[in-house]
């Protein structure tokens, strides 16, 4: 089982560099909707973060009717974008709001740990991101 991305929300400055890095790594474009981590602003209160919890027994995986969700080498669940039909069954199945559909392309988007590289973590200027337990 892979480790989830940990967000230390007290440190977060809401810059959203993590969102842009994630979409660039996975899709080669900058688009917050295509990011597997989302920062939700609530200022002046602290923000919230939406990100896949990397469940040991993920509800999304069996919910997909076209086998567009697969396990990677480090155990994370990843979306095969070419296979995904955008039906949203995985979104409905997830109890943690950890997966969503990109409104432009329709494909499912989630944190897949970048095959254990966690590319967003060094991108965070304030060290709010780390690899959790």
Partner 1 sequence: MLECYGKKLLRVNLSTRTIRAEALDDAFIARWVGGMGFGTRLLTQEVTPQADPFGEENTLYLCVGPLTGTLAPLFAQTCIVTKSPLTGGIINSYAGGHLGGALKATGYDVIAIEGRASNLVYLLVTPEGVRIVDCPELAGLPAAEAEEAVKTAARRDDLHTIAIGLAGENRVRYACAISETRAFGRGGAGAVLGAKNLKAIGIAGIGDVRVADRDAFVTAMGAAYETLRKDLAQPWSVLGLFGRAGTGTAIGMVNERYALATRYHRQSHFDKAEEIGGEALAKKYPTRPIACLACPVHCGMLHPTVKTRWGPVWTRGPEYETMYSLGSLCFNDDTDMLLMANKLAEDYGMDTLSLGVTVAFAMECAERGILPRDALGDGIPLEFGNAEATIRLIHMIAHREGLGDTLAEGVRRAAQALDQGAESFALQVKGMEFAAWMPERMRGIAVTFSTSNRGACHKRAPIGAELMGFIPMDSSEGRAALVASIQDKVNAIFTLVSCRFLEFALPTQQYVDLLNAASGLQYTEESFLRLGEAIWNLERLYNLAAGISGDEDRLPDICFQPPPDFPKDAKPLTREDFATLLRDYYAARGWDAQGRPTPERLALLGLEPNPIG
Structure tokens at 59: 């509800």
- In the list 1, 8, 29, 83, the residue contacting partner 1 (rule: CB under 8 A) is 29
Q: Smallest distance, Å, CB 30 to partner 1?
A: 4
Residue 101 contacts partner 1 per CB under 8 A: no
Q: Smallest distance, Å, CB 57 to partner 1?
A: 29
For residues 121 and 67, give the distance between their C-alpha atoms in angstroms, rounded to a whole number: 29
Of 57, 66, 72, 69, nearest to 108 by C-alpha is 69
Rounded to whole angstroms, what are the CA distances from 1 to 55, 67, 113, 116, 126?
A: 7, 19, 11, 11, 27
Residue 82 contacts partner 1 per CB under 8 A: no
Query: Residue written as tokens 């919910």?
Result: 63
Q: Smallest distance, Å, CB 81 to partner 1?
A: 13
Q: Which residues bind partner 1 (CB under 8 A)?
A: 13-17, 20-21, 24, 27-34, 40-41, 43-46, 102-104, 123, 125-126
């Amino acid at each position: 089982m892979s480790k989830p991305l940990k967000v230390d929300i007290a440190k977060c400055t809401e810059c959203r560099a993590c969102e842009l890095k994630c979409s660039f790594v996975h899709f080669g474009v900058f688009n917050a909707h295509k990011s597997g981590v989302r920062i939700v602003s609530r200022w002046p209160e602290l923000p919230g973060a939406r990100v896949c919890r990397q469940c040991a027994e993920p509800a999304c995986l069996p919910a997909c009717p076209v086998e567009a969700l697969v396990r990677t080498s480090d155990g994370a669940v990843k979306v095969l974008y070419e296979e995904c039909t955008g039906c949203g069954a995985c979104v409905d199945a997830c109890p943690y709001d950890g997966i969503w559909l990109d409104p432009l392309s329709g494909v499912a988007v989630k944190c897949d740990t970048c095959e254990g590289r966690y590319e967003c973590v060094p991108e965070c200027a304030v060290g709010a991101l780390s690899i959790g337990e």
